[in-house]
Amino acid sequence: MKSMNLNEPHPLLAHESKSAESGLWCESNNVKLPDPMKSMNLNLLSLACERIQTVFGGAVGDNSETSERSTHVAASSIETQVKKLVEDLKSTSVDTQWEAASQHRLLAKHNMDNQIIIANCGAISLLVDLLHSPDAKTQENAVTALLYLSINENNKTAIANANASL
């Protein structure tokens, strides 16, 4: 099967066009055509901005009261999720503990606010306890979650204190 060269027009097209240095050129109309990738990227960007405005309200980058409320609601939602996960860390089920440790790891990975929420909800001492879990994957998730949590200086102290009490 012959491979198709994307710089050449499809043989079934009525108007031949060729690739020029600065974009596509339609020879039959002697007109420069817009670069389809640039057009597609601009359309995607425009759709993304519209979606952000719909979800968060207001203009993108607007530091209004609405965005502050959205941030508070998001933090409250994370806190509710973390409180549930902390209860799951206390479970006697190894699978439940593994899943909760895994979720703590993901929440703590790139978000300093989440790291603070996790510590404030009491997860650190429970994650330290899971370092002695009979399940290696649970231990792995617990130690990785603690690693991410230790990025915050206050959490380092809490981790050291929890470890000292063992």
Express each pLDDT in 26-51 by its tens digit.
555 565 655 555 455 556 666 676 66
Residues 6+ apart with CB under 8 A from 162: 124, 125, 128
Kindly state which CATH superfamily the domain 65-164 is placed in.
Leucine-rich Repeat Variant (1.25.10.10)
Burial of 78 (0-12, 13-18, 19+ CB in 10 A): middle
Summarised one tens digit per residue, pLDDT across range 53-111 is: 666 665 545 555 555 555 566 678 899 999 999 999 999 999 999 999 999 999 999 88
Answer for the pair 89, 100: CB distance below 8 angstroms, yes or no. yes
Confidence (pLDDT) at 46: 65
Sheet with strand 17-20: strands edge to edge: 17-20, 23-26, 31-33
Give the DSSP letter of residue 58. S
Confidence (pLDDT) at 75: 73
Confidence (pLDDT) at 13: 42
Q: How confident is the model at residue 142 (pLDDT cuts 50, 70, 90)?
A: very high
Instruction: Provide mean pLDDT across the span 134-163.
Output: 93
* Nearest-angstrom CA–CA distance, 135 and 8: 58
* Nearest-angstrom CA–CA distance, 86 and 96: 11
Least confident span in 122-126, 144-148, 161-165: 161-165
Residues 6+ apart with CB under 8 A from 72: none
Angle formed by the axes of helices 65-89 and 36-56, nearest 10° = 80
Q: CA geometry: angle at 121 spanning 159 and 131, to 5°?
A: 40
